[in-house]
Amino acid sequence: MTTIAEREFVKSQLRIAGSSMAAVGRELGLTRSTVAGVVAGTCRSARVERAVAEKIGMPREQLWPSRFMDTGDDDVLDIR
């Protein structure tokens, strides 16, 4: 599960980048709540994680270290 600090960091970095979870969702054809779920860690999507990381300019592993620290698992379900 994503920590509160990770979630708040991602949200603040999106704002600094001039974006939001809603904007990322629109770009991907998803709802804001879907993106928020991925940011919060209640669901996983490599596609959403990549889009958020690209928008912020940081690797996914740095944005959500708790998701990757144990196994480095990159095998996640893509929400389409």
Q: Where are the domains of the chain?
A: 4-68
* Percent of the chain topping pLDDT 90: 62
Determine the CATH number of domain 4-68: 1.10.260
Residue 64, Cβ density class (10 Å: 0-12 exposed, 13-18 middle, ≥19 buried)? buried
> Above 80 in pLDDT, residue 69?
no
Instruction: Note the pLDDT tens digit of each residue in 2-11.
Output: 788 889 999 9
Would you state the pLDDT for residue 53? 96
Between residues 40 and 64, which one has the greater pLDDT?
40
Instruction: Quote the CA–CA distance of 18 and 39 in Å, as a whole number.
Output: 17
Q: Is the dihedral of CA 35, 53, 71, 3 positive or negative?
A: negative
- Whether the model pTM is above 0.85: no
Q: Among 4, 38, 2, which Cα is nearest to 21's? A: 38
Q: Name the region of 14 (left: φ>0; alpha: ψ -120 to 50; beta: rest).
A: alpha
